[in-house]
Chain A
Amino acid sequence: MKGKRSMALPYVVWSIAFVVIPLLLVVYFAFTDKNGAFTFDNLSKIVHYLPIFAKSINLALIATIISFLIGYPLAYCIARSRTHVQRNLILLVMLPMWMNFLLRTYGWMTLLENEGIINKLLGMIGLGPFEMINTQGAVVLGMVYNYLPFMVLPLYSILVKIDRSVIEAAQDLGANRFQVLCKVLFPLSMPGIVSGVTMVFVPSVSTFIISRMLGGGGNMLIGDLIETQFLGGSYNPYLGSALSLVLMVVMLLIMTVMNAFDEDDMEGMLV
């Protein structure tokens, strides 16, 4: 099979042209001013936007934790169901994902509005109305809702692979339910937890739609900020690139930390 390697050449060229060079351009723009001269101004301006960074990370973290708390028991329930039930439940979890997330988020707008259905139902039992839309809570809800399947799927696929006898062995050795969870299930599902957390956190922290649709004007996140530099009123790709560069670096750091949890040699550990 000589010369087989060269078959990857078109792809490599494509990737360099449309993945690597664009990212280098982001770096280039981040250090350039309008006249094309080298500058640190864009990066130093970011200090003003640190609260927005903090808010984005904070909301994304909350959303990730809630997703985990909902998603882990859900994935476990599914993984411990009978095989044909499992398939159907997983399909049910994935089905909403095939509908455009803009539409689903729009659905929540309808539900959460001040004169929306939830307030109306609450009104019938004499509660509310509550201010739900255009709050941070609504943004977090939108994140959890949109990215919950990303938490459930990797967790499920690792939990089904955990041999039942490993859990039975732990019980056999005297571990109660809680100890089985902490000492066996969590450590064994760590790779799934890491990828689930990453897959919820990354899109949550960089979203600009959910915050705009459910958060109103007062809940600008880092994604909105970047978007307005490129397509919004305050056109400034130089600052936008600097913001993106920082976002990328932050993500890289977080992922490195996450992967440290997962770096143990896990191969061959699941039967």
Chain B
Amino acid sequence: MRSIGKKLYLACCFLFLYAPIAVLIVFSFNESKNRATFTGFTLKWYASLFQNELIMRSLFNTLIVAAAASIIATVLGTIAALGISGMRKRMRSAVMNITYLPVINPEIITGISMMLLFVFIKEIFHLELGFVTVLIAHITFCLPYVILNVLPKLRQMDVSLYEAALDLGCTPVSAFIKVVLPQIMPGIASGFLMSFTFSLDDFIITYFTSGSSFQTLPVTIYSMTRMKVNPQINALSTLMFVAVLVLLLLMNVRKKPKGVHA
């Protein structure tokens, strides 16, 4: 009996989590713009989606920003984590407090504070709101996630591994590449992945730092939702959901543990 109750509860929770997504997907194939009755099957919203230049351009912008921001943040953050792990306690906790700031601050505050900065220094650096400001903002909110992923790996790592490599004749640089890097690689990888997905997904901070000339996909989506009825949004949602699902399945197949016995 208890296990039936448990299953029912799980089912209700997942119904709640997936209901709006299911609705979006179903109505992306709906003939009419009506959002409550299904009048007939069509793919025309998908066709018009791919012809929508604004959406395509902002998709491109999003990918460029996400790739650039996550790569730069990963390199900068990994180096920073190495430095932080060598710091003494006082110094380290000071730096870590700054690192936590963008994580715990409400996003809107991070967004408006950076907007203030960019507007403030506009005259000095001739920096208009656009690609560069969005990139800087994204690197800034990605950095903590890289550091917070790499630091624990550095802490778990046995210091004597590095020393053993030196003992066996490695130079510090080659010891780092051959011994330290492989050890902390999982942390770097998950830091990179988190950065990439957060950057892809970010709306609030981009919204405040992008200005009018440069739009990422979430910003475009936002302006589309302001225009109430637009089935292209449904089509876009469906495609994004499928993309995420495929990615997850691929990752899962790769990670599947081998030879598990019951």
A and B touching (Cβ–Cβ under 8 A):
yes
Q: Which residues of A contact B (CB under 8 A)?
A: 1, 4-12, 14-16, 18-23, 25-26, 29, 70, 73-74, 77-78, 84, 89, 91-93, 95-96, 98-111, 113, 115-117, 119-120, 145, 148, 198, 202-203, 205-209, 213, 223, 226-227, 230-231, 237, 240-241, 244, 247-248, 251, 255
Taking a contact as CB atoms under 8 Å apart, the answer to whether A96 and B17 are in contact is yes
Interface centre among A10, A11, A29, A205 (most CB of B within 10 A): A11
Contacts of A74 in B (CB 8 A): 9-10, 13
Taking a contact as CB atoms under 8 Å apart, the answer to whether B79 and A110 are in contact is no
Closest residue of A by beta carbon distance from B38: A117
Q: Pick the interface stretch among B41-49, B50-58, B63-71, B110-118.
A: B110-118
Main secondary structure of the interface of A (DSSP, over half): helix
Other than the known A77-B9, A96-B18, what 19 A-B pairs have Cβ atoms closer than 8 Å? Answer: A4-B83, A5-B91, A7-B86, A11-B79, A11-B147, A18-B114, A25-B116, A25-B120, A74-B9, A74-B10, A102-B225, A103-B236, A110-B23, A110-B27, A202-B104, A209-B204, A223-B108, A231-B208, A244-B112
Taking a contact as CB atoms under 8 Å apart, the answer to whether A226 and B236 are in contact is no
Contacts of B87 in A (CB 8 A): 5, 8
B136 within 8 A of A: yes
B21 within 8 A of A: yes
Contacts of A7 in B (CB 8 A): 79-80, 82-83, 86
Closest residue of A by beta carbon distance from B112: A230
Contacts of B147 in A (CB 8 A): 11
Interface residues of B in 71-115 (CB under 8 A from A): 76-77, 79-80, 82-87, 91, 95, 98-99, 101-102, 104-110, 112-115
A25 to B114, CA, bound (A): 9
Interface residues of B in 212-262 (CB under 8 A from A): 217-218, 221-222, 225, 233, 236-237, 240-241, 244-245, 248, 252, 260
Contacts of A22 in B (CB 8 A): 110, 113-114, 116-117
A24 to B99, CA, bound (A): 16
Given contacts A22-B114, A230-B115, contact A99 B109 (CB under 8 A): no
Given contacts A14-B140, A23-B113, A209-B203, contact A103 B13 (CB under 8 A): no
Contacts of A213 in B (CB 8 A): 225
Taking a contact as CB atoms under 8 Å apart, the answer to whether A11 and B77 are in contact is yes
B6 within 8 A of A: yes
Q: Shortest distance in angstroms between A44's beta carbon and chain B's nearest beta carbon?
A: 20
Interface centre among B37, B98, B162, B217 (most CB of A within 10 A): B98
Q: Shortest distance in angstroms between B200's beta carbon and chain A's nearest beta carbon?
A: 8
A132 to B83, CA, bound (A): 53
Taking a contact as CB atoms under 8 Å apart, the answer to whether A11 and B143 are in contact is yes
Contacts of A21 in B (CB 8 A): 117
Closest residue of B by beta carbon distance from A84: B260
Q: Shortest distance in angstroms between B11's beta carbon and chain A's nearest beta carbon?
A: 11
Given contacts A5-B91, A111-B20, A145-B20, contact A95 B221 (CB under 8 A): no
